Amino acid sequence: MVNLGIAPPQPGTDVGKFRVLYGDTSYVALDPPVSGLGDYVELSDDEITLFLEQAVNSVPGAIGWYYLRLSGDAAKVSMSTADYDLKLDSTKRSGDLRAMADFWFDRAAEEDIALGGGDIFEVVGPPLGNRYPSFPEASPYWAQG
């Protein structure tokens, strides 16, 4: 399977930032060669773009979603095998990948807050002492007795 992408990675783009931060920067030339494109080890540019869309264009969030997918893949095939003095255990790998996903999701949340985003909670009500209060648009009006 070919993981087609712009080569070398361009860190000035979100896809390039994803590649550099995640570490998927190794590629080989296509056969036949195509100028400016390469076959990457893990992800194509199209796959990265989908993770970026899922994370609303947050590069750390996109990396978190990718680690979450890797965690799910690892959970599907996890097993523990022991034979005499040999023991193979891949049951913890999914949890480790999930921890990496949480790390990147936390970075995305910090980035969102630093850029002025985040959740906002406002309580809106009538001014105190006003006999005929005004209500925000689309809110129910209760008759005053």
**pLDDT tens figures, 6-56:** 999 999 999 999 999 999 999 999 999 999 999 999 999 999 999 999 999
Cβ neighbourhood burial of 60 (10 Å; 0-12, 13-18, 19+): buried
Same domain as 17, residue 67: no
Same domain as 108, residue 60: yes
Across the range 101-113, mean pLDDT stands at: 92
Same domain as 45, residue 11: yes
How many domains does the chain contain in total?
2
Alpha-carbon radius of gyration of the chain: 24
Residue with structure tokens 């007795």?
Answer: 145
Range of the domain at 101: 56-115
Which of 35, 54, 73 represents a domain boundary (last residue)?
Answer: 54
Same domain as 40, residue 4: yes
Distances (CA, A) of 21 to 40, 49, 69, 135: 15, 15, 17, 48
Whole-model pTM: value is: 0.76
Identify whether 129 is part of a domain: no
Identify whether 78 is part of a domain: yes
Question: Which residues fall within 8 angstroms of residue 112, CB to CB, at 6 or more apart?
Answer: 58, 118
